[in-house]
Amino acid sequence: MRLFVLWGPVVAWAAVIFGLSSIPSLSSGLGTWDEVLRKGAHLTEYAILGALLLRALGRWQPALMIGIAYAATDEIHQHFVHGRHSSPFDVAFDACGLAIGLLVALSVQSSRARAEELRRPPARRDPRAAGRAP
């Protein structure tokens, strides 16, 4: 059950990315804004994937490496979709998105840990140990 809870969201989000990569043309007809929106989508998609991978793996290094590997396979997939093209620059954007997602997730984890530490009551001393050297 724990395996499903950790990896289910990762697999589901990877399927969303795969599905979006299967759409022949995502052009909105907005010219330059179209490019900006698509690159922003790349960053966002992979930021979410990075956070989910960190949650599943618990360490940022393997999360980053697996995310980059998935980004590379996604670009290979796009190469075979009519109306799409693959680009190593997209893998770089995806890697930046992964890094952003990992940094945000690590920051949230750190903040939660600090908040938990502050809520924890201070350690109590044993009254029988009063006057004894540590």
pLDDT, tens only, 52-90: 999 999 999 999 999 999 999 999 999 999 888 888 999
Kindly state whether residue 128 falls inside one of the protein's structural domains.
no
Domains: count for the chain:
1
Three-state SS string over the chain comes to CHHHHHHHHHHHHHHHHHHHHCCCCCCCCCCHHHHHHHHHHHHHHHHHHHHHHHHHHCCHHHHHHHHHHHHHHHHHHHHCCCCCCCCHHHHHHHHHHHHHHHHHHHHHHHHHHHHHHHHCCCCCCCHHHCCCCC
Kindly state whether residue 134 falls inside one of the protein's structural domains.
no
Kindly state whether residue 83 falls inside one of the protein's structural domains.
yes
Kindly state whether residue 17 falls inside one of the protein's structural domains.
yes
Kindly state whether residue 126 falls inside one of the protein's structural domains.
no
pLDDT, tens only, 95-132: 999 999 999 999 999 988 888 887 877 766 666 665 55
Kindly state whether residue 129 falls inside one of the protein's structural domains.
no
